[in-house]
Structure 1
């Protein structure tokens, strides 16, 4: 069994912001796999379904980004999912928009949602699917404001293809394993 957690903030105010790309990726994944409707549980929007030979649980924590572990940890415990079967999908400012990086056992890099999950899990030994949102081209805009801004019109045009590739990356991890998926997507 796998848990795939897409990070973001709840509410329409944050719906199309860079910080919510993890939520968007989960939405694309659920749609592409014809998954059942989400239910509210474990402080998140949760889906449970089978895909190929895998049992999958997805969650979009509704705790706000900085408390994402409050949703992820109880799900891991309830379903007895091993840490190596956790995939966290999140925004990453240190790689360009439209770029994907798959990594495991790394520091939080200042990302508060990841910092909280590290703390609640007591480890960083899980898979992260980093979706590049880039840094602001305006040095006057602090990082916390940049990630809470909506995508530009140009980015919005590219977003569907980017999110479809994120689904491909998740499927590659599930089907082929971390090493092969990393080789394919970490370019």
Structure 2
């Protein structure tokens, strides 16, 4: 069983902000997979579905970003899911807007949602599907940037990145994370 957690903040005021990329990608996957059985459990909205023969639990934590680990940890313990089978979808300030990357493990990199998940799981060894939102411009603070909606050229870039991330999750379910990293991560020559 895979636990696929999209990170974000609950509430209308946070919908489609940079920090809610994870929620948006989980919604895209739920739409593609015709998921309608959402319920509240583990301080999250969850739904289960079978994809490519694998049972998947989709999750959108309702704890607010900084406490995401409460929901992810509770579901992982309940379903006895190993860290390697937990996939987290989140925004990333250190990637340019619209760039995506899959990583199998690593530090929180300053992301409070990831920091909380690491604390609750006791390991960094879970897969992340990261969507670049870039660094703040025009004198905005980091908080204003991540809690704001994309504008200008970033709107199309980030919309495409969300679809690409959903494609990469489906690819990872079908072919495994390592092959999906080769297929969906940007190649060195295109990182200029």
Which TM-score bucket, shorter chain as reference?
Answer: over 0.9
1:24 aligns with 2:14: no
State how 1:120-159 maps to structure 2 within 5 Å: 120-138=120-138, 140-159=139-158
**What is the distance in 2 between the residues matched to 1:80 and 1:4?**
14
Deviations 1:94-152 (A, max 9, x none): 011111110022010000000000001000001000011111222x2221221011111
- Whether contact under 8 Å (1:2, 1:86) holds in the other structure is yes
CA RMSD of aligned residues (A): 1.2
Partner of residue 117, structure 1: 117
Partner of residue 163, structure 2: 164
Q: How many residues align?
A: 186
Partner of residue 2, structure 1: 2
TM-score, normalised on structure 2?
0.93
Q: Secondary structure at the match of 2:130?
A: strand
Q: Secondary structure at the match of 1:24?
A: helix
TM-score, normalised on structure 1?
0.95
Where structure 2 has 5 or more consecutive residues not aligned to the other structure, the ranges are: 187-192
Residue 157 of structure 1 and its aligned partner are, at CA, apart by 3.4
Q: Secondary structure at the match of 1:116?
A: helix
Partner of residue 80, structure 1: 80
**What is the distance in 1 between the residues matched to 2:17 and 2:57?**
24
Residue 159 of structure 1 and its aligned partner are, at CA, apart by 3.9
Residue 154 of structure 1 and its aligned partner are, at CA, apart by 3.3
- Whether contact under 8 Å (1:4, 1:88) holds in the other structure is yes
**What is the distance in 2 between the residues matched to 1:160 and 1:92?**
15
- Whether contact under 8 Å (1:36, 1:49) holds in the other structure is no
Partner of residue 52, structure 1: 52
**What is the distance in 1 between the residues matched to 2:121 and 2:12?**
29
**What is the distance in 1 between the residues matched to 2:159 and 2:110?**
27
**What is the distance in 1 between the residues matched to 2:104 and 2:23?**
20
